[in-house]
Amino acid sequence: MIAVPLPALREQPLTLELDDPSRGVRPDGGPLLADRIALGGPYAVPVTAEYVADDPDLKAFVEQEAAHSVYHLVHLSVSFATEPASPRLDRASIELTLSATAGATRPVAWSMTPMRVLDPVQVERRFRLGPQLKLQEMEVSLGAIEQTTSRKRAETFLQAQRELRSDPAWEFCRTAGMKLSGSYRLIMVVRAANDAGVSISGAVRASVKGNLLHWYRRELPGPLSLAAAL
C-alpha cells in the first residue's frame, strides 16, 4: 500500500447553461449559473512499476497486468462558492465518459474515491493505493466517524456512481446538515487496454431550487488524453 500524492490542481470557474431551456429561466431571470462551481483537472498520472516501486505486491501486479492493461491515476477537484440565499444549489454531479480508439476494449473506472461521504462530512482525508490498485481512504478527522455511524439514519452528501464502467460519476446532494460549499478532491484509477488511445470527457451538472427545480450543464473544458505507460 502506498500513499497517493495530491497534485496541485488549478481550478477554473464554470458558467453553466440551462440543461432544458423549455422549462424557462430561473425566478431571478438568469439563464446562466455563473461563478458557483469551479473545477480542477482532470489531471492524470501513469501508474508504472516505478510509481509503485515501494510496494512489492503492487509492483508485481502492475508488471503482470502490463501484458494487456495500463492504469492511470486521474485527479479532479470541485469547489462550490459560498452560496447566496437564492437560488440555492441543491445537487451537482461530475459525469465522465471514458473512451478508447475504435476496436479497443473500453476503459473503465477501476477504482474511485470518495465512494461515499455521509452527513456530517469527514473534514480531512488521505488516500492510498491498496492491493490491485484499489483506492482506499484513511480517515484523520476527529470523532466524525463515530458521529456518523452512531446515527440511525445518515444522509448521503457525496456518492460515487458506476465504478467499473466507462461512465463514472460523483454526485453531491444537499442535506439537512450540509450545503454545497467548500472544496473536494475526487480520484479514480482508470484501467485501459495497453494498445488503446484513451480520452476522458464529460460534463458538470447542477440544479438550483427556488419555486421550481432547474438543471444546468457545462461540458468539461476539453478531453484529456491518456498515454499508455508501458
> pLDDT digit string (tens) for 98-155?
999 877 789 999 999 999 888 654 445 678 888 888 888 765 443 333 333 344 467 8
pLDDT band at residue 195 under the 50/70/90 scheme: confident
The 3-state secondary structure of 111-157, one letter per residue: EEECCEEECCCCCCEEEEECHHHCEEEEECCCCHHHHHHHCCCCCEE
Would the pLDDT of 86 be above 70?
A: no
Give the Cα separation of 215 and 4 in Å (integer): 34
Q: What is the pLDDT of residue 120?
A: 55
128 burial via Cβ count (<10 Å: 0-12, 13-18, 19+): middle
Containing H/E element for 61?
helix 56-65
State the cell numbers at 90: 441543491
Among the ranges given (8-17, 116-125, 166-175), the one the predictor scored with the smallest mean pLDDT: 116-125
Give the Cα separation of 130 and 142 in Å (integer): 24
The pLDDT > 70 percentage for the chain reads 81
The domain segmentation of the chain, as residue ranges, is 2-24+31-226
Give the Cα separation of 90 and 154 in Å (integer): 18
What does DSSP say about strands 198-209 and 213-219: parallel, antiparallel, or unpaired?
Answer: antiparallel
Give the Cα separation of 67 and 71 in Å (integer): 12
Q: What is the pLDDT of residue 113?
A: 93
Give the Cα separation of 80 and 94 in Å (integer): 13
State the cell numbers at 192: 485501459
With beta carbons less than 8 A apart as the criterion, state whether 177 and 153 touch.
no
pLDDT mean over 171-176: 92
> pLDDT digit string (tens) for 57-85?
999 999 999 999 999 999 999 999 976 66
Give the Cα separation of 139 and 229 in Å (integer): 31
Give the Cα separation of 55 and 120 in Å (integer): 34
pLDDT mean over 43-66: 94
Secondary structure E strands in the chain: 2-3, 11-18, 32-46, 69-80, 88-100, 108-113, 116-118, 125-129, 135-139, 156-161, 169-173, 182-193, 198-209, 213-219, 224-226
